[in-house]
Amino acid sequence: MNEIYVDLAVIGGGPAGLASAISAKESGVEKVVVIDRNSWLGGILPQCIHDGFGVEEVGKSLTGPEYAEMYIKKAEEKGIKFMKETMVLSFNKKLQILAVNKKGLYTINSKSIVLATGCREKTRWHALIPGTRPSGIYTAGVAQSFINLYNIMPGKKVVILGSGDVGLIMARRFTLEGAEVAGVVEILPYASGLPRNVVQCLEDYEIPLFLNHTITLIEGKERIEAVTISKVDENMNVIEGSEKRIECDTLLLSLGLIPENEIAKTARIEIDDLTGGAVVNQDFETSIPNTFAVGNCLQVYDTVDVLSIDAKTAGKYAGEKLVYGGKEKFNCIKVVPGNGIRYVVPQKIDRTGKVIISLRVRKPGENLTLVIKAKNKEIFNKKMPWVNPANMVRMEFNVSEEIFSYESIEVELK
Amino acid sequence: MRNFEVAIIGGGVVGCAIARELSKYDVRVVVFEAGSDVASGASKANSGVIHSGINSPPSSLKAILCVEGNKMFPLLSEELSFPVKWTGKFVIAKNEEEVDELERLMETGIKNGVENLEIKEGDEVKKLEPNISCFSALWIPTAGITSPYEFTIALAENAVENGVSFLLETEVNGLNKKNDIFSIKTNRGEFKADIVINASGLNCRKIVSMVEEPDFDIYPCRGEYLVLDKNYRYLINSMIYPVPVKEMGVLGVHLTPTIEGNILIGPSAEFIEDSSDISTTRKMMKQLFHEAKEILPSLPEKGVINAYSGIRCKISSAGEGLADFRIEESRNFRHMINLIGIESPGLTASPAIAKRVVGMISNIIDLREKRDFKVRKRKKRFSEMSVEEKSIMIEKDKRWGRIVCRCENVTEVEIIEALSNILGAKTLSAVKYRCRAGMGRCQGGFCTQHIVRIMEKNFGMKIKDIKLKSPNSYMFCGKTREENE
Ligand SMILES: Cc1cc2nc3c(=O)[nH]c(=O)nc-3n(C[C@H](O)[C@H](O)[C@H](O)COP(=O)(O)OP(=O)(O)OC[C@H]3O[C@@H](n4cnc5c(N)ncnc54)[C@H](O)[C@@H]3O)c2cc1C
Ligand SMILES: Cc1cc2nc3c(=O)[nH]c(=O)nc-3n(C[C@H](O)[C@H](O)[C@H](O)COP(=O)(O)OP(=O)(O)OC[C@H]3O[C@@H](n4cnc5c(N)ncnc54)[C@H](O)[C@@H]3O)c2cc1C
């Protein structure tokens, strides 16, 4: 067993981990280490070779690898240490991390931890589809890594189930590589990916989007041969007689992403069932003091830009807390999602001043108002010309001392 | 080598158990398996229950071999190191009328030699199974669970370790006999043998018809399952069965814990035409959930994460009631032993079936016991090792320090060992069933790419030849772009 002592350990070297490590270092923390199980840094970004990254943050449209490179360079310049090809197995409330790599097992004793373990894709488990279980069924991200990182082509005639962003992007990618994309099948009445991706990845290539449809049968004894798609009614029940058979040799699943928190669970961090990520305060501190959660393991962000901005905030706060000690705190109040809201982050607030609240609405709508209430009293509102579950809503809210006389505040959509 | 004393057709649990039993003797044995790995048929897709023997009529082969097989599992699991858990089983009576059925089952069980049967009152059951409500229940402590594919793989690999030849992706498509010698035609050429064992499961009739007119029919009966997420494992402690459904000759939709920690719901029972149609259907998925909910009202719908099906090899139709196993030498072709209608409890009975078949073989040829018969040593998985053990392993071979499957914590060494299996099975499923890589919550999202790399790099496999599980289940259509483009 190897023993290492650090000030701040970041688990996960994707954009969130790198951004928070850099900010922590800039706040004056001495020994910062980023641990990642991959042989590369940048997390999922090296396989996202399309552009569109960084527009909001740096005003330029970069590819995933370029965006990652920007952070990797900066992290190297700042003297951050990296442990690559190192898998974190667990950690505990004393902030000791157990990790393993080809040189052996490590205990990494840290004073502060940032969790930046990213997300994983929903699998076939999340959409029970009747039929056979042949080869040729991939999650969109796995297909993306095969094509973009390993130069391997999964198939030539593709149907995509789910209209998440990764699936939309892969519809275009497969088309560009000469495959035929027979359609994207979405059970909801609207696409779950970003509107700009629907235009740039489907409409520009005339790929059909079947809304209110789902796949009701998979055929093929060995390799997939066809799927049957069916229309659903407003309660998502299959409408008999609406079946349509589409031949294909590949089915991609783009059913959405889930925060990856198996490591967080080893330390019994409190998890929010609604986000799938840790319960955090406005500064991204979790239920374990001096342990923070950032990036897609906290909540699934729309774009990497906003994710990095939040991760920097968290890194800065984690750093300052280590260097200067914590700020004055109030007793924690809860932030709960009310009518029309699927989730809110942070789930608790324990200081005054400016905080940013991120949330997702339940369904699309126009001309609505977001309201924050404390015991039925409205304390904040924001007009929303339109809302869409695919677009995360962010609002700045100034926390005054008086709200700490309540137990909780509620966010709702009117 | 193309000449053998014994040729076994079919690498399901029955064929593999026979091969392993024969490997204790000095005899040249070959197994032909059409699939890309053993356990490609019913032996992979069943409930994984080690039955006690209460369900078959006294003195039937099913009863005798089930009870005998059940008792062999503790030793087998030690010699072959595959997992077994003696969870016990409840058959529940929902009302007073069904109690008669429990008593009948108990009586049959006692006649069959099943020990320690007991009828418990509903409140007593509740203490052991807090989520189950019933009038009363038959408690069967000798019923257990196993991992059917791990068991079959262990039998096969141990057989090969002791000299048996296994030929995968080798389908028998012709059989005849001249001068007391069988010639067996396959897609890999012709082989010769003195004795042929037909353990081809659902294909048993097809193989028989290669040499004579069969005197039986096959009525394939599909059983579909739902799989419940591991988070709900706590819902039951033992197996929970309803009283058997008589008309179909099946045990009814039940709840079974698995070795991996899931709960199985099923199987359904539906006679079908195509004996290879292992589809799942929307209709059955709904029905299974509905029936299971009657047994376990707190069953959560969102807990269902998977579905699969297996096909029973029935030799009696819906109205005809139960048929027995048939284990017999062909009437016209001596030295051809047919295993016909090996449906449930075939998994449980398989080691006893093997003993019986080897007994029959010993009447034909002289079987001399080997002195150097080897059992299988259990290797600890990385995830089961202590911190010290892990450190030692990494020091010995640094590839123990590279985790390839993050969900089940499987290391590079374990993947390579799985791919180096003595049977030569090289599909992604073969890896999964041997070391669990890809079996976890991300379903291979993270590790598939790394396993594919290992297949390419360490085993020189071509991308186009990589398969999921069966001979034509190709994963890829090739390179995206040629290297020099
Ligand atoms: C398949 C896929 C495709 C995507 N494509 C796009 C896209 O095109 N555009 C876009 O804006 N967003 C995309 N996203 C969203 C993307 O995840 C985010 O934009 C961004 O990469 C998330 O940053 P992160 O740092 O939170 O997570 P990640 O980039 O996923 O980084 C997490 C890192 O943590 C490491 N890690 C996790 N657990 C451990 C452990 N136990 N030990 C050691 N290391 C660990 C991982 O190896 C990984 O490197 C995609 C996501 C996925 C899953
Ligand atoms: C739904 C279901 C649930 C069950 N539950 C249980 C249970 O809980 N407990 C229990 O004890 N039993 C159970 N059983 C019964 C048990 O699964 C079977 O009895 C057992 O698996 C039969 O094994 P087998 O080797 O005869 O057949 P199989 O496993 O079907 O093996 C036959 C093999 O032969 C191969 N083959 C076929 N034709 C050829 C050919 N021409 N050339 C080469 N190879 C060929 C096939 O590829 C196959 O691998 C269940 C069965 C089903 C269907």
**CA atoms of A17 and A220, how far apart (whole Å):** 42
Question: How far off is chain B from A213, nearest CA to CA, in Å?
Answer: 16
Residue range A208-213: mean pLDDT, rounded:
97
CB-ligand 1 contact for A115 (6 Å cutoff): no
Q: What is the pLDDT, as a whole number, of residue A180?
A: 98
The whole-chain average pLDDT of chain A stands at: 95
Helices B346-362 and B13-22 pack at an angle, to 10 degrees, of 40
Q: Which two tokens stand for residue A275?
A: 């986000």
Q: Is residue B402 part of a domain?
A: yes
Chain A, residues 296-315, CB within 8 A of chain B, namely none
| Terminal CA-CA length for chain A | 57
- A38–chain B Cβ distance below 8 A for any pair: no
Q: Is residue B474 part of a domain?
A: no
Strands B270-271 and B219-228, by their bridges, are antiparallel
Name the region of A310 (left: φ>0; alpha: ψ -120 to 50; beta: rest): alpha
Q: Is residue B485 part of a domain?
A: no
Closest among B423, B441, B204 to B306, alpha carbons compared = B441
Q: Is residue B470 part of a domain?
A: no
CB atoms within 10 A of CB B2: 12
ipTM of this complex prediction, to 2 decimal places: 0.93
pLDDT tens digits for A92-138?
A: 999 999 999 999 999 999 999 999 999 999 988 788 899 999 999 99
Q: Answer yes or no: are the C-beta atoms of A201 and A176 closer than 8 Å.
A: no
DSSP character at residue A188: S
**CA atoms of A332 and A404, how far apart (whole Å):** 8
Q: Which of B442, B467, B479 sits opposite A135 (nearest CB)?
A: B467
pLDDT tens digits for A151-202?
A: 999 999 999 999 999 999 999 999 999 999 999 999 999 998 889 999 999 9
A72 CA to centre of ligand 1 in angstroms? 15
The helix or strand, by DSSP H or E, that contains position A114, with its residue range, turns out to be: strand A104-115
**CA atoms of B45 and A251, how far apart (whole Å):** 24
Q: Which of B395, B444, B479 sits opposite A153 (nearest CB)?
A: B479
Q: What is the pLDDT, as a whole number, of residue B252?
A: 82
Output the domain CATH number for residue B114: 3.30.9.10
B11 CA to centre of ligand 2 in angstroms? 9
Handedness of CA B104, B105, B110, B111 (dihedral sign): positive
Q: Answer yes or no: are the C-beta atoms of B349 and B69 closer than 8 Å.
A: yes
Q: Which two tokens stand for residue B69?
A: 């097989």
Q: Is residue B290 part of a domain?
A: yes
Residue range A257-285: mean pLDDT, rounded:
96
**CA atoms of B343 and B345, how far apart (whole Å):** 6
**Cα–Cα distances in Å, from A168 out to A165, A180, A331, B295, B482?**
5, 14, 44, 43, 25
Strands A87-91 and A291-293, by their bridges, are unpaired
Q: Answer yes or no: are the C-beta atoms of B425 and B459 closer than 8 Å.
A: no
B436 CA to centre of ligand 2 in angstroms? 22
- A249–chain B Cβ distance below 8 A for any pair: yes
B345 CA to centre of ligand 2 in angstroms? 10
CB-ligand 1 contact for A87 (6 Å cutoff): yes
Q: What is the pLDDT, as a whole number, of residue B484?
A: 56
Residue range A262-281: mean pLDDT, rounded:
96
Q: Which residue range is the domain that position B207 belongs to?
A: 1-84+146-215+324-378
DSSP 3-state helix, strand, coil percentages of chain A (rounded to 5)?
A: 25, 40, 35
CB pair distance less than 8 Å for B394 and A100: yes
In degrees, to the nearest 5, what angle opens at C-alpha B368 toward C-alphas B166 and B184?
A: 35
Question: How far off is chain B from A90, nearest CA to CA, in Å?
Answer: 12
Strands A333-337 and A408-413, by their bridges, are parallel
Q: Is residue B245 part of a domain?
A: yes
Q: Which two tokens stand for residue B184?
A: 């067996």
Q: Which residues contact B104 (CB under 8 A, 6 or more apart)?
A: none
CB pair distance less than 8 Å for A131 and B452: no
Domain count, chain B: 3
Q: What is the pLDDT, as a whole number, of residue B485?
A: 45
Output the domain CATH number for residue B412: 1.10.10
Q: What is the pLDDT, as a whole number, of residue B249?
A: 64
Domain co-membership, B296 together with B339: no
DSSP character at residue A198: I
Q: Answer yes or no: are the C-beta atoms of A291 and A115 closer than 8 Å.
A: yes
Residue B357: burial class (beta carbons within 10 Å; 0-12, 13-18, 19+): buried
**CA atoms of B411 and B399, how far apart (whole Å):** 7
pLDDT at A48 over 90: yes
Domain co-membership, B101 together with B192: no
Handedness of CA B230, B231, B237, B243 (dihedral sign): negative
Helices B148-161 and B13-22 pack at an angle, to 10 degrees, of 30
Q: Is residue B479 part of a domain?
A: no
CB-ligand 2 contact for B53 (6 Å cutoff): no
Find tokens 């309660």 and name the residue: A235
Q: Is residue B483 part of a domain?
A: no
Domain co-membership, B307 together with B206: no
Domain co-membership, B436 together with B398: yes
**Which pTM value belongs to this model?**
0.94
Find tokens 């992290």 and name the residue: A75
Domain co-membership, B180 together with B49: yes
Instruction: Give me the percent of chain A exceeding a pLDDT of 90.
Output: 92
Domain co-membership, B411 together with B370: no
Strands B3-9 and B29-32, by their bridges, are parallel
CB-ligand 2 contact for B35 (6 Å cutoff): yes
Output the domain CATH number for residue B340: 3.50.50.60
**Cα–Cα distances in Å, from B350 out to A103, B72, B364, B429?**
45, 10, 21, 23
CB atoms within 10 A of CB A134: 21
Domain co-membership, B258 together with B275: yes
Ranges of residues in chain B whose predicted pLDDT is under 50: 485
**Cα–Cα distances in Å, from A262 out to A116, A265, A267, B288?**
12, 5, 9, 31
Closest among B9, B393, B385 to B196, alpha carbons compared = B9
In sequence order, what are the beta bridge partners of B242? Answer: B92
Side-by-side strand order, sheet with A341-345: A341-345, A353-361, A393-399
Domain co-membership, B296 together with B223: yes
Side-chain-side CA neighbours of residue B431 (13 Å): 29
DSSP character at residue A282: T
Domain co-membership, B201 together with B336: yes
**CA atoms of A1 and A14, how far apart (whole Å):** 27
CB-ligand 1 contact for A119 (6 Å cutoff): yes
**Cα–Cα distances in Å, from B457 out to A259, B111, B396, B480?**
32, 58, 22, 18
**Chain B residue at shortest CA distance from A136:** B475
pLDDT at A13 over 90: yes
**CA atoms of B52 and B263, how far apart (whole Å):** 20
Chain A, residues 110-149, CB within 8 A of chain B, namely 120-121, 123-126, 128, 130-136, 139, 141-142, 145-147, 149
Domain co-membership, B113 together with B225: yes
Q: What is the pLDDT, as a whole number, of residue B439?
A: 87
DSSP 3-state helix, strand, coil percentages of chain B (rounded to 5)?
A: 35, 25, 40
> Using 50, 70 and 90 to split pLDDT, how confident is the model at A330?
confident
pLDDT at A385 over 50: yes
In degrees, to the nearest 5, what angle opens at C-alpha A383 toward C-alphas A381 and A388?
A: 115
Domain co-membership, B415 together with B266: no
Residue range A294-308: mean pLDDT, rounded:
96
Q: Which two tokens stand for residue A17?
A: 């981990």
Closest among B401, B376, B273, B5 to B165, alpha carbons compared = B5
Q: Answer yes or no: are the C-beta atoms of A286 and A272 closer than 8 Å.
A: no
Q: Answer yes or no: are the C-beta atoms of B239 and B90 closer than 8 Å.
A: yes
Domain co-membership, B6 together with B46: yes
